[in-house]
Structures are given as structure tokens and as C-alpha cells.
A and B are shown apart, each in its own frame.
Chain A
Amino acid sequence: MREVFDDVERWRAGGHRIAVARVVGLEGSGPRDPGATMVVNDAGEVAGSVSGGCVEGAVVTAALEVLDGSRERGVISFGYSDDEAFAVGLTCGGTIHLYLEPLDW
């Protein structure tokens, strides 16, 4: 979270709405620890990261859905071992759980 506040501040000053995704859990091998944070604004700009680049694209899509109201806030998971998983996953074979929400707090 620490590393994205400069961007959050700038985006808020520009009137953007923002979604935030945070790693809340990992199973097996994963590149970033819980707490790793990515923010996405309603123009599709991105700051921070939640993996080694494996799932960021899918997280941006989900974040934009949260901002346009077509997706509820909540936990989303990526990884081949999860039935709910997206088509994308971590190349290292682990499962990553993210909590995605609008930055409305």
C-alpha cells in the first residue's frame, strides 16, 4: 500500500475513481507476499503489482468491472488448482487470493 499512495493522491486530485487489489493469501509458490498491492483507476492506469506480472492483466479487467459496478467487491483467486480460477494463473504453479474493492475508504 505504501508504494501506491503517491499515485492514489494524484489520481484523486484528477477526479478519478480507484480500485485496489491486495494479496490476502497464497498457496504454494507465489512471487509476492500478502499485502502486495495494485491500484487501478477508472482510466485503466495502474500502480503497484500483485504478482510477477502473471495475473496483473486479469486484475485490471476485474478492477475496471468493480469500478463500473458489474462486479462486487470480494476475494478473487488465480491458479490452476482452483475451480473458480480465471484462465490465467501463476507460472510458478501456486494459487494467489486477492481482495478487490473500490478505494472508497
Chain B
Amino acid sequence: MSAVDHLLSDTLRDTLRADRPVALATVIDGPGLGAKLLVRPGEEPLGTLGDADLDRVVARDSLAELDAGLTSTRHYGAHGEARERDVTVFVESFAPAPRMIIFGAVDFTAALARAGKLLGFRVTVCDARPVFATPQRFPMADEVVNDWPDRHLATVADRLGPRDAVCVLTHDTKFDVPAIVGAVATGVGYIGAMGSRRTHAARVERLREAGLTDADLARVMAPIGLDIGSRTPEETAVAVCAEIIANRSGVAAPNLRDGTGPIHRPAGG
């Protein structure tokens, strides 16, 4: 078989491997069963569902679904008419992997980067200190960046959305404050910052001095993670990832931020 026979699936594969957005529309019932349209933002659709008007309507709807990260079954008339049910089209969205940006190349970073990969994040480790932030120390990360947090965030700000996460593990106001200030200036869905309750209370004062409002501070999960008695870096990584999932799903879960007890409980306690 030549590659030309598989133009649509090869293009889908290559687009996914490049981590670029793409939607695949397939007729799963009605005339043209099995016909496909591959839709990518800013490009002409590939393939056809067998009718130019239907193609146009489905391409438009697929871009909207892709934007919202939705996969669904839709019904149309034979020429794309709304409120008719001649053709059933399955629109599958392939949004790029969500991003997790971890600030601070510390003990907890490698475990969180591994857990982030497990959940399907594209993981960036960023630290201004080149001695600590090396690809050798964080081989599981997709990217290791030596830069100041605010400068790095400025380069990716327009790409951060509700599915993405920023985790500040630096433990040092010199880095924490620009990282959190930079993160609240983006549309990122999750912002968490490590540190004891006392550390965070001091950090909040610095953040207010830097101009953050109550609404900005309400977006910051600190101390970071769910209150599940984590002790090791790996257990802490699970607590952070669980908090990211709970925040996204809106399900109530015991956040360390909203509790009052000690973060680290006695062993066996």
C-alpha cells in the first residue's frame, strides 16, 4: 500500500505527533457512510463527506468543537441543514496535550514531572539556576528551561488555558513571587504553590505588594495539593495531581489550602 492510500490517517498521525490541534469528522450513519473530513485550524480541510455544503458546515462545527476540546455525535441534513437527521457525523477532537509548567528544580520536581506525564501533560521544568535545571536531572520532562519564571511565562502566556497547570515549587520568594504574578496574568486553569502555611502567609504579603487582588490570590492553591497525608515527593506529586483533577472537575476534595492542620503528619498518624 502506498502512503497516498492513507493520506487522512497519515496526516492525522503526523499532526498528532507534532502536538498540533486537529479534528476528524466521520459519517457514521446515513449517505456517505465512512466518509471523512480532517479539519485543522488555519488549513483547508482534507477529504470530503460527499457534499460541499455539508463539508463547509461540518468543518465550521469541527473547529468549534476542537476549540472547546469536545468530541461528539452531530446530526445534519444531506447538505448540512441544521435540525435535520439525514446524516450522523462523529466529530472527534484532538486537542494538543495540556501543559504542566513546574517552577523550581527541587527534590519534588522529578516526582511531579513523572506524575504529570502519567496524566498526559506536556511537562516543562523551569529554573533560573542552570546547575539544577538540566535535562540529565529531569529526563522525564519534555522540556527543561533555564530562565526566570516571569520571562518564561511571558513566552507561553497566550498558549495557557483551562486545561493547563502551573506548579510553583521553588520555596523562595525571589522566584515564587514572579512565578505566581506571571501565572495569574494568564488563563491557566490551575496554579499551585508549595510552602508551609507560614511561608505562604509571608508570600501573600509580597504578592499583594506586587499588585495581586483577592480574586488573583483565590486562584492560587497554597499550600499545594490535597490533604491526604503525603510525605514523600512521590506522594506529594499524587496529592498535587489529584488537586488538579478535582479543580478541573469541580468535585469537592480536601485541599491543604482550605485546611488548618499541619501539612506533614507524623508517620503512621
Contacts and interface: CB of A to CB of B under 8 A. Distances in A.
Interface string A44-88: 000000000000000000000000000001110000000000000
B34 A73 contact: yes
A30 interface: no
Contacts of A103: 6, 9
Nearest to A105: B8
Interface stretch (B25-33, B77-85, B131-139, B259-267): B25-33
A35 interface: yes
B106 interface: no
A35 B25 CA distance: 11
Contacts of A74: 28-29, 33
Interface in B56-75: 71-73
Contact of A105 (B17, B36, B71): B36
Contacts of A35: 71, 92-93
Given A12-B1, A105-B8, A73 B71 contact: no
B190 interface: no
A99 B9 contact: no
B13 interface: yes
B187 to A, nearest CB: 24
B137 to A, nearest CB: 28
B256 interface: no
B175 interface: no
B73 A25 contact: yes
A9 B28 contact: no
A99 B13 contact: no
Nearest to B89: A24
B73 A24 contact: yes
B108 interface: no
Contact of B16 (A1, A25, A34): A1
Contact of B94 (A1, A8, A73, A104): A1
B90 A105 contact: no
Nearest to B6: A105
B29 to A, nearest CB: 6
A99 B72 contact: no
The 10 lowest CB-CB distance pairs between A and B, nearest first, are A99-B28, A35-B71, A5-B13, A24-B90, A105-B8, A34-B71, A35-B92, A2-B16, A73-B34, A101-B34
Interface of A: 1-2, 5, 8-9, 12, 22, 24-25, 33-35, 73-75, 99, 101, 103-105
27 contacts: A1-B12, A1-B24, A1-B92, A1-B94, A2-B16, A2-B94, A5-B16, A8-B13, A12-B1, A22-B90, A22-B92, A24-B28, A24-B73, A24-B90, A25-B73, A34-B73, A34-B92, A35-B92, A35-B93, A74-B28, A74-B29, A75-B28, A75-B29, A99-B28, A103-B9, A105-B8, A105-B47
Interface of B: 1, 5-9, 12-13, 16-17, 24, 26, 28-29, 33-34, 36, 47, 71-73, 90, 92-94
